[in-house]
Chain A
Amino acid sequence: MKRALFILAVLIFTTSPVYVWAGNQNSAIEDLNAKEFISEHLSDSYEWQIVSDGAKHITVPLSIILYSKTTGWHLFPSSHFQHGTAAYNGFKIASEGKYKGKIVETDARENISRPLDLSLTKNAASLLFASLLIILIIMGVARLLKRDSMKPRKGFAGMIEMLVLSINDEVIKPSIGKDHQRYAPYLLTVFFFIFTNNLLGLIPVFPGGANVTGNIAVTLVLAVATFLIINLTGTKEYYKEILWPDVPTWLKIPIPLMPIVEIVGTLTKPFALMIRLFANMMAGHSIVLGLTMLIFITASMGMAINVSMTFLSVIFTVFIDFVELLIAYIQAYVFTLLSAVFIGLARMESHSEKKKVIETGQVA
């Protein structure tokens, strides 16, 4: 009871300044478009925002790397755009149109085109940061284990070891079977990559907060990598099952109906992986943002509604954040599990061989 009261007090005290702030800026909030705000936060940006109150921005500038067909390579910090309000060297961040929010190039004839944009955006920087973090953590644990492998680990290293073991023993081994050692390092890397990025995405302040795994480009690369692993290491039997499956001949000749279905099947598997991770993480971020937006949307509806909705919003946001923690793990787990299952399917042995094994087993 005492604890519950304490939590309640903390919630009220921490949310009231938000209310005060929102009330003071009433005029600024009225033209706040919730939909725009959310989609802006879900998509990538050229600078890493720390704090913004509408007029003043505190951001970490990121490097802009561009290749224009006419002027060649360009490298400059994103602060030159002055938060999207200024143009620099003929480049600017489009505020509307087809390329909204992206850098466009305006040439001498006022034609707007999109240069090759390799800028280190917020998502890219977050990706690099996360990669560095995972490499440091895993290599640290690996070195610690190598130095004295007989000593049981405690604390953080023990937790990482436990995660590695649980994924390796409960996901990878049973799904792939015989050759699991060959694929375990890749699948573990995928798991930790997705998990770390998911968790970093849940941290709302600076080094986190980027919607990385909720971005289709990121999940696309992950899915393509898994697709390549599945199909480049498939057995002969796997390809036979795709190109000449064990079905009545009229399903294969003259129209190769089943082969087409099978080939589409090989593509839909990683496609489903890509969409699942992307949609789950994006949806999670949208819900958190939407619930937080409740505070600012109701700011103009009077104090009583605003205070109660603020209270509700904080409770719901905390709840959804806990759910998101769960989802961060589940999605990384599911991606790894399904990748392992698909790899296991591609490592199948021929039916005749399997039958032989069963028969000899029965004889024995």
Chain B
Amino acid sequence: MSLLTPEPGLLFWMLVSFGITVFVLAKFGFPSILKSVEKRKNYIEESLLAARKAHEELAGIKKTGEAVLAQARKEQADILKDASLKREMMIEKAREEARQESEKLIASARRQISAEKEEALRSIRSEAATLSLTLAERILREKLGTKEEQKKMIDRLFSEMDISRS
């Protein structure tokens, strides 16, 4: 069986070609390819890790941002509430003051009015007294201008006094 007996010539050429191939590829070819692929694999792994980390960081930042926002919102609400409370208080106070002031004003006005009224009454009274005296004087002067009149008057007064005495 010639198929099962190795030919020395072909053995020689196989040794040469396989030897050269193994030498070149095992020394320069495959280690280089494997190294490059390993490098790329590491790079990809690192990138993935970095991306995941960045993602997590971003999520953390988002969370803190939300917290800050919520706090700010709360503070804003507090401030607004406070402000409205204060405003109401101020308005209330102002109203109270205004009322007191007006009451004071009204009271003083009343007092003045009553004082002036009294004054007026008093002056009217004295005027009226003076006027009536003057009038009485005039009337008397008219009525008791003549001597008979004066005599009649005296008579009557006397009679009246008599009547009351008797």
Contact = CB atoms under 8 A, between A and B. Distances in A.
B32 to A, nearest CB: 4
Interface stretch (B20-28, B69-77, B98-106): B20-28
A218 B14 contact: yes
A138 B29 contact: yes
Contacts of A149: 36-37, 39-40
B10 A215 contact: yes
A117 interface: yes
B8 interface: yes
Contacts of B26: 185-186, 188-189
A101 B10 CA distance: 14
Contacts of B9: 65, 117-119, 121, 124
Grouping DSSP codes into helix (H, G, I), strand (E, B) and loop, the A interface class, with mixed when no group exceeds half, is: helix
A282 B3 CA distance: 9
Contacts of B40: 149-150, 152
B158 interface: no
Given A119-B9, A216-B6, A189 B15 contact: no
A134 to B, nearest CB: 6
B36 A138 contact: no
Given A128-B17, A168-B34, A216 B3 contact: yes
Contacts of A168: 34
Contacts of B24: 135, 139
A278 to B, nearest CB: 9
B11 interface: yes
Interface string A36-67: 00010011100000000000000000000100
A123 interface: yes
Contacts of A185: 25-27, 29-31, 34
Interface string B65-102: 00000000000000000000000000000000000000
A142 interface: yes
Interface stretch (A71-79, A81-89, A219-227): A219-227
Interface string B29-69: 11111101101100100000000000000000000000000
A164 interface: yes
A124 B24 CA distance: 19
Contacts, number: 138
A168 B38 CA distance: 11
Of the four ranges (under 10, 10 to 19, 20 to 34, 35 or more), the interface on chain A belongs to: 35 or more
A165 interface: yes
Given A146-B36, A220-B11, A193 B21 contact: yes
Interface in A128-144: 128, 130-131, 134-135, 138-139, 141-142
A123 B9 CA distance: 10
Contact of A116 (B8, B28, B30): B8
B2 interface: yes
Nearest to B15: A221
A217 B11 contact: yes
Contacts of B16: 128
Given A142-B32, A168-B34, A43 B2 contact: yes
24 contacts: A44-B7, A117-B8, A119-B9, A121-B7, A121-B9, A121-B13, A127-B10, A127-B14, A127-B17, A131-B17, A135-B29, A138-B33, A139-B25, A139-B28, A149-B39, A150-B40, A164-B34, A184-B30, A184-B34, A189-B22, A193-B22, A216-B3, A217-B6, A220-B11
Q: Which 5 A-B pairs have CB atoms at the shortest separation, nearest pair first?
A: A124-B13, A185-B26, A217-B6, A145-B36, A149-B36
Interface of B: 2-18, 20-22, 24-34, 36-37, 39-40, 43
